[in-house]
Amino acid sequence: MSEEQSIPLIDFDKFLNGSHDDRKDVASAIDAAFRSVGFIYLRNHGIDGDKIDHCFRWGKRFFALSDTEKNLIRRPPDRSLYRGYVGVGCEKVRKHICIKESFDSGNPDEDAQPNLWPSEEVLPGFRDYMEMFFQECSMLVHQLLDALSTALNLPPADSLAQYHGASLFTMSLLHYPALPAEDLRSGTHTRIPAHSDFGTLTLLFQDDVGGLEIAEPGSASTETSAGFEKEGRFRKVKPMPGTVVVNVGYLLMRWSNGRWRNTVHRVVEPPELESGGDGMTPARYSIPFFAAPDPATVVEALPGCWSEGLPKRWKAISAGDYIRRKKLAVYV
């Protein structure tokens, strides 16, 4: 079995359009994959491939703008707003500076975190397209939350989607600039070191360059991001046309009482360059979409995820407070 095939491939059409039994089967398959790996490839997910391709083209157009134009919508240095442009070297993971730039936007209806957009004169049509694509991804997140609620047989009062009603999510356009391959091999620079996501679900659309890897459970003596980076084994998550990669965030792991894995992952040198050569690592583009619960949500073990024989592993936690702390730690 190849590395990418070890990450389950789920056909979501049967959940979206199938019978009651089809929906249960797909929900069970996602549940099993999240319990064993924490990642899936999802195909027939309902977002048209042409729309995804067009979003990548918009991302390349945005990052091709001059630094002056991009910095007009730069994220405020006081960290009061997590929207807009973030330049190369302005994000860190465990004190490692990430060699990437990003543009972050959120729900157009969110008053507390208003989006920052380039003017229509600079990039006409960009805002409208990003807002449309945000809604497409938001819908998919809610459908996946419905599938997970189905897997746990949660009653409507406890369904996961109701805790994400405001859809206060973040969509990022990411650009990893081309750089000498030796810089990545030697550790002089890093694209993103080993880490885990801190929300509930992440959708990831990636180009064909590659470089995403996930840690193999049990391959490090301490199952932390730093532990896996130091001594763990990683498997590649190669781009698979027509799919979106979906993974479990920390809050969802905690909500499920550890049932679903919050798997450590990283972005490294693309696979085709690992065999040698002193050339440049090609630029990489990706579009992650980060879902998190509404800020007032109290996250504690869901019904069906704990019992007398399987006690709750964590105390209740405020989703909003946790997300704020994590964001403050990320940005330089």
Q: Which of 137, 133, 136 is nearest to 125 (CA)?
A: 133
The rounded distance, in Å, linking the Cα atoms of 255 and 261 is 11
Q: Which residues contact 208 (CB under 8 A, 6 or more apart)?
A: 239
Q: Give residue-wise pLDDT tens across range 274-315.
A: 544 558 889 999 999 999 999 999 999 999 899 999 999 999
Q: Give residue-wise pLDDT tens across range 202-260.
A: 999 999 999 999 999 889 888 888 899 889 999 999 999 999 999 999 999 999 999 99
* Domain total of the chain: 1
The rounded distance, in Å, linking the Cα atoms of 323 and 83 is 15
Cα dihedral 65, 71, 74, 78, rounded to 10, equals: 160
Please give the residue range of the domain that contains residue 160: 4-330
Largest interatomic CA distance in the chain: 62
CATH number at residue 135: 2.60.120.330
Specify the pLDDT at position 184. Answer: 82
Measured in whole angstroms, the distance separating CA 173 from the mean position of its chain's CA atoms is 11
Q: Are strands 84-86 and 101-106 parallel, antiparallel or unpaired?
A: antiparallel
Paired tokens of 264: 């450590």
